[in-house]
Amino acid sequence: MNFARMMQQAKAVQEKMQALQEEVAAIDVAGEAGGGMVTVRMNGEHRVRSVTIDEAIWQERDRALLEDLVAAACNDAAARVDEVVREKQSAAFSGLPLPPGFSL
């Protein structure tokens, strides 16, 4: 492979990475816990956008339960973001020849 060809491929990878970063920033997923009693919305940069708590939880007045459900919903949302990002990475780079040992 000649140097010019390698540079073209590197530029293509860089352009795809930039487009992917923009796509990822726009991702919006919901994570849930307690059968939907707590919902956390998170963007592709793992920033929490909102937390929704069902009225029934407030009536329970169980602080430990609420804390556990919020943490679980955040973890669920983060896992969903990671899954969507992996899918987008796979789709974006499926046709590009990447150097040996290079993974996304």
Provide the pLDDT for residue 15: 84
Q: Indicate the pLDDT class of residue 79, thresholds 50, 70 and 90.
A: very high
Distance CA 55, CA 66 (A): 11
14, part of any domain: no
Position 69 scores a pLDDT of 97
The answer to whether position 8 is within a domain reads no
Evaluate whether residue 9 is within a structural domain.
Answer: no
- Domain holding 72: CATH number? 3.30.1310.10
Q: CA–CA separation, 22 vs 88, rounded Å?
A: 11
Cβ atoms within 10 Å of 46's Cβ, excluding its own: 13
Mean pLDDT of 57-81: 94
Q: Is the pLDDT of residue 26 over 80?
A: yes
Give residue 7's pLDDT.
82
> In angstroms, how far is the first alpha carbon of the chain from the final one?
22
Q: Is residue 104 part of a domain?
A: no
Paired tokens of 83: 């899954």
Q: At what angle do helices 3-25 and 63-93 cross, to 10 degrees?
A: 150
pLDDT at 17 over 60: yes
